[in-house]
Amino acid sequence: QVQLQQSGAELAKPGSSVKISCKASGYTFTSYDISWIKQTTGQGLEYIGYINTGSGGTYYNEKFKGKATLTVDKSSSTAFMQLSSLTPEDTAVYYCARGSGSWGQGVMVTVSS
């Protein structure tokens, strides 16, 4: 069955970067895009963007351009999202998703000094 296993929680300092992962299994990795979604209590669910896992092509929500960088490693069926220049507003749970139906378990990123 389709599974998306995300990396563990992150605690980061303001101004730093984090890179979280999303390892896919149960299907042909390069046949589906991987999307990334941010969830906060205040802003709800926000769409960050997606990566074409075959070509590496990306789409970013304008709001997250310069904040998020999406990459893939086809050899390990893993998608990555790097968040840079972190501020407390980046504190959130981040999900990866394949299409509409399969989501990872989420990664809590906490930005605090």
Least distance (Å) between residue 76 CB and other proteins: 22
Cα 29 to Cα 61: distance, rounded to the nearest angstrom: 23
Measured from the CB atom, the residue of 107 and 111 that comes closer to other proteins is: 107
Residue holding tokens 């998608």?
79
Measured from the CB atom, the residue of 6 and 78 that comes closer to other proteins is: 6
Least distance (Å) between residue 5 CB and other proteins: 12
Least distance (Å) between residue 105 CB and other proteins: 6
Q: Can you tell me whether residue 113 is helix, strand or coil?
A: coil
Q: Which residues bind other proteins (CB under 8 A)?
A: 35, 44-47, 49, 59, 61-63, 95, 100-101, 103-106
Neighbours of 53 (CB within 10 A): 23
- Residues found in the chain: 113
